């Protein structure tokens, strides 16, 4: 696609065009090269200026009427922190290798956080670990948000410069090199993006564009965004196109889209997907949305994907977690009563809640690849007080049984970094704020858990790790030495074996697999039997998650995993039959 963005610096005939939507300003100047250049007002609150001879790497910012110089909100690269000048980064000079996009049904996703995935915590360091992922059977990485945020340490969901890769991880070209290396290894590269809010430090938009925000609505993270205003819409639509175009990501995961409230027609989520499909028809777009809606993920008459490819299926995780741990507080409470029918329904139909009590919509008509399932991810570990991994919360036989169900299900599987070798190090919530904001985050984090039985005592809450402490971040790095330990090698062999089975027996039947493909045969008292009719084959799951040996209705065809007959506790069998 042609690079013709409304936001951010653009190479044009005669130099470089700088542009900013600043309807709250009477006049605006561009500070560049040590000089202040008055910008020309344009219709609708825009200011623009074309400068000759601006070299790549030049630093620039916008001078407001109150004397402040602010960075470009669409900065492609910063000279330093989120509070300082932006740096001109020229696109289009990277030497890309050829790449044929992989189809969605081949996705086996590993979610990773760049800063804690390796000891170095950089884009370039991730490249060195890609052969491990390929050997494991991973076919896609999903990178947690990389938009620049305040400080060096953070999850990325508090970004304030959505176009600028976080400098602690490397340069924009370092990120391009990572995506290119993924493709050379046959891996898809997916990126998590956040369009529902800005972080609490370093966002200056309200100073010159107060209309960027909706004064009548708040999100859990602060002011809501006014998506009904055209410049605001373009900011986010162009951002999505930017990552796919200039970094060649294979797809995006949109965070917490239930907070993108917009009464426009089309609504912002629809328009983002429509524009992406117009330019990148093969992009894989997934959403996180606790509404359990299906309107964004409907298939076309030919089975194609008009808008979004798949939805992160929190319901699967939540009921599986209840089964594994017995926990029943917080959002697990809705899954604690009669978890077995809920688990069977999540496997066969996608969502557990499909309109009951006014929550959700029927999902059984969607194909199984419309759901991304996981036993762990950044949220479900890091949003715990101590960031515990599932293996520290549940018996290993149960975790192995659930992993066997997870990785061979016809849904798209996602694992969290290190899960493939049975990682037990925590993944905690960490930030890098100073002063009052650091105190507010620390105290808010501990107050958040006050309603849980285990944290009723103030002394217990005080033991929750301080998000701003460097050691909280350091303790969250995954342990590559464990991968080489006897326990780690055993887990890796287990996961590789399951993914080999998925590649040989499940994957060939996922393309064109229909909706209404799953049927619950039995789901009670720790016993799960589910059959799927896929494209050219029937797949059968038989699982005994109880504490005693049990008989289940036999599957059809060949037993490809486990043993036929009565199943011991925590054992799983999978069956495969070629359809006539």
User: How would residue 438 be classed by pLDDT, with cut points 50, 70 and 90?
Assistant: very high
Q: What is the DSSP letter of 550?
A: B
Residue 44 and residue 113 in one domain? no
The structure tokens 């000048």 sit at 85
Reading phi first (left if > 0) and then psi (alpha if -120 to 50, else beta), residue 427 is in beta
d(CA 296, CA 308): 6
329 and 215 within one domain: yes
Q: What percent of the chain has pLDDT over 90?
A: 91
Which pair of tokens denotes residue 469? Answer: 């402490």
Q: CATH number, domain at 183? A: 3.20.20.80
Question: Which of 166, 87, 174, 86 minimizes the C-alpha distance to 124?
Answer: 174
pLDDT-derived band of residue 86, with 50, 70 and 90 as boundaries?
very high
Q: Looking at the structure, do residues 479 and 562 belong to the same domain, yes or no?
A: no
The 3-state DSSP composition of the chain as helix, strand, coil percent (nearest 5) reads: 35, 20, 45
183 inside domain: yes
Distance of CA 333 to the CA centre of its chain: 24
pLDDT confidence band for 341 (50 / 70 / 90): very high
Strands 571-578 and 558-561: antiparallel
> Are 474 and 515 in a shared domain?
no
Average pLDDT over residues 36-41: 98
**Bridge partners, 519 (sequence order):** 531
234-249: pLDDT as tens digits: 999 999 999 999 999 9
287 and 299 co-located in one domain: yes
Q: What is the pLDDT of residues 478-537, one digit of tens each?
A: 999 999 999 999 999 999 999 999 999 999 999 999 999 999 999 999 999 999 999 999
What's the distance, CA 281 to chain centroid?
A: 20
Count how many Cα atoms sit within 13 Å of the Cα of residue 1 in the half-sphere of its side chain: 20
- Asked if 108 and 499 touch (Cβ cutoff 8 Å), the reply is yes
- Helix (H) and strand (E) counts in the chain: 16, 26
pLDDT at 138: 98
Residue 19 lies in a domain: yes
- Spatial separation of the C-alpha atoms in residues 551 and 521, rounded to whole Å: 13
311 and 378 part of one domain: yes
- Per the structure, the count of domains in the chain is 4
More confident residue, 409 or 449: 409
Residue range 94-109: average pLDDT? 97
Q: What is the CATH number of the domain that holds 31?
A: 2.60.40.10
Q: Are 122 and 174 in contact (CB under 8 A)?
A: yes
- Nearest to residue 106, comparing CAs of 180, 178, 175, 190? 190
**How far apart are the C-alpha atoms of 166 and 146, rounded to whole Å?**
5
One-character DSSP codes across 155-223: -STT-SEEEEE-TTT--HHHHHHHHHHHHHTT-EEEEEE--S---SSS--HHHH-GGGEEEEEEETTEE
Measured CA to CA in angstroms, residue 491 lies from 132, 136, 377 at distances of 14, 11, 18
Q: Does residue 392 share a domain with residue 286? A: yes
Mean pLDDT for the stretch of residues 41-53: 96
Which positions are annotated as active-site residues? Answer: 255, 288
> CA 59 to CA 76: how far, in whole Å?
11
* pLDDT of amino acid 454: 84
CB within 8 A of 335, min separation 6: which ones? 315, 318, 319, 321, 322, 342, 352
pLDDT at 93: 79
d(CA 164, CA 159): 9
One domain for residues 475 and 513: no
**Residue 15 · residue 58 · CB < 8 Å:** no
395 and 427 together in one domain:
yes
Within-domain flag for 98: no
**Same-domain pairing of 404 and 501:** yes
Q: What is the pLDDT of residues 531-557, one digit of tens each?
A: 999 999 999 999 999 999 999 999 999
Per-residue confidence (pLDDT) for residue 92, from 0 to 100? 67
Q: Is residue 93 part of a domain?
A: no
Mean pLDDT, range 450-464, rounded to an integer: 87
Domain limit, last residue, from 54, 87, 120 = 87
Contact 114, 143 (CB under 8 A): yes
User: Of 473, 507, 541, at which residue does a domain stop?
Assistant: 507
Answer whether residue 91 shows pLDDT above 70. Answer: yes
Q: Let me know if residue 529 belongs to a domain.
A: yes
b/e per residue 234-259 (b: at least 16 CB within 10 A): bbbbbbbbbbbbbbbbbbbbbbbbeb
Count the neighbouring beta carbons within 10 Å of the beta carbon of residue 106: 17
Q: What is the CATH number of the domain that holds 515?
A: 2.60.40.1180
Residue 5 lies in a domain: no
pLDDT at 1 over 70: no
- Coil, strand or helix at 279: helix
Check whether residue 397 and residue 544 sit in a common domain: no
Residue 236 belongs to a domain:
yes
> What pLDDT was estimated at residue 507?
98
> Cα-flanking dihedrals φ and ψ of residue 413, to 5°?
-90, 145
Q: Which domain holds residue 380?
A: 107-433+463-507
133 and 198 inside one domain: yes
| 323: pLDDT strictly greater than 60 | yes
Domain membership flag for residue 551: yes
């Amino acid at each position: 696609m042609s690079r013709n963005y409304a936001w951010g610096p653009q190479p044009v005939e005669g130099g470089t065009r700088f542009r900013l939507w600043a309807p709250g300003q009477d006049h605006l100047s561009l500070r560049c090269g040590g000089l202040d250049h008055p910008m020309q007002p344009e219709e609708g609150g825009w200011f623009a200026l074309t400068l000759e001879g601006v070299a790549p790497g030049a630093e620039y910012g916008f001078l407001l009427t109150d004397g402040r110089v602010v960075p470009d909100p669409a900065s492609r690269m910063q000279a330093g922190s989120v509070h300082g000048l932006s740096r001109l980064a020229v696109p289009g000079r990277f030497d890309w290798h050829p790449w044929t996009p992989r189809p969605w049904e081949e996705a086996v996703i590993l979610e990773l956080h760049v800063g804690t995935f390796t000891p170095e915590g950089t884009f370039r360091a991730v490249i060195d670990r890609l052969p491990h992922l390929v050997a494991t059977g991973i076919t896609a990485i999903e990178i947690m948000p990389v938009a620049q945020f305040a400080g060096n340490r953070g999850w990325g969901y508090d970004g304030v410069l959505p176009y600028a890769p976080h400098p602690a991880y490397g340069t924009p070209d370092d990120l391009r090199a990572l995506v290119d290396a993924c493709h050379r290894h046959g891996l898809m590269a997916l990126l998590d993006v956040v369009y529902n809010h800005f972080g609490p430090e370093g966002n200056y938009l309200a100073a010159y564009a107060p209309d960027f925000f909706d004064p009548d609505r708040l999100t859990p993270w602060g002011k809501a965004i006014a998506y009904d205003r055209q410049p605001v819409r373009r900011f986010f639509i162009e951002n999505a196109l930017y990552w796919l175009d200039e970094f060649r990501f294979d797809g995006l995961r949109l965070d917490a889209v239930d907070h993108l409230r917009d009464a426009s027609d089309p609504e912002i989520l629809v328009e983002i997907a429509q524009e992406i499909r117009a330019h990148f028809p093969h992009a894989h777009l997934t959403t996180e949305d606790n509404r359990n809606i299906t309107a964004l993920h409907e298939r076309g008459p030919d089975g194609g994907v008009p808008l979004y490819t798949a939805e992160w299926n929190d319901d699967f995780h939540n009921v599986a977690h209840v089964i594994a741990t017995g926990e029943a507080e917080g959002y697990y409470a809705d899954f604690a009563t009669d978890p077995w029918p809920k688990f069977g329904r999540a496997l066969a139909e996608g969502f557990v809640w499909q309109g009951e009590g006014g929550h959700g919509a029927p999902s059984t008509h969607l194909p199984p690849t419309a759901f991304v399932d996981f036993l762990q991810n950044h949220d479900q570990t890091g949003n715990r007080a101590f960031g515990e991994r599932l293996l520290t919360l549940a018996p290993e036989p149960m975790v192995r049984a659930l992993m066997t169900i997870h990785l061979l299900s016809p849904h798209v599987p996602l694992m969290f970094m290190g899960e493939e070798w049975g990682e037990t190090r925590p993944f905690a919530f960490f930030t890098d704020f100073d002063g009052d904001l650091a105190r507010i985050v620390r105290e808010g984090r501990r107050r958040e858990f006050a309603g849980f039985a285990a944290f009723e005592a103030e002394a217990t809450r005080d033991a929750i790790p301080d998000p701003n402490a460097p050691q909280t971040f350091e303790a969250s790095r995954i342990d590559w030495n464990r991968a080489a330990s006897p326990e780690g090698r055993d887990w890796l062999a287990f996961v590789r074996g399951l993914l080999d089975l998925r590649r040989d027996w499940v994957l060939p039947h996922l393309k064109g697999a229909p909706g209404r493909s799953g049927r619950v045969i039995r789901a009670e008292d720790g016993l799960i039997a589910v059959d799927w009719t896929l494209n050219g084959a029937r797949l059968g799951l038989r699982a005994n998650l109880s504490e005693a040996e049990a008989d289940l209705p036999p599957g059809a065809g060949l037993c490809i995993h486990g043993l036929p007959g009565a199943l011991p506790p925590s054992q799983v069998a999978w069956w495969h039959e070629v359809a006539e």
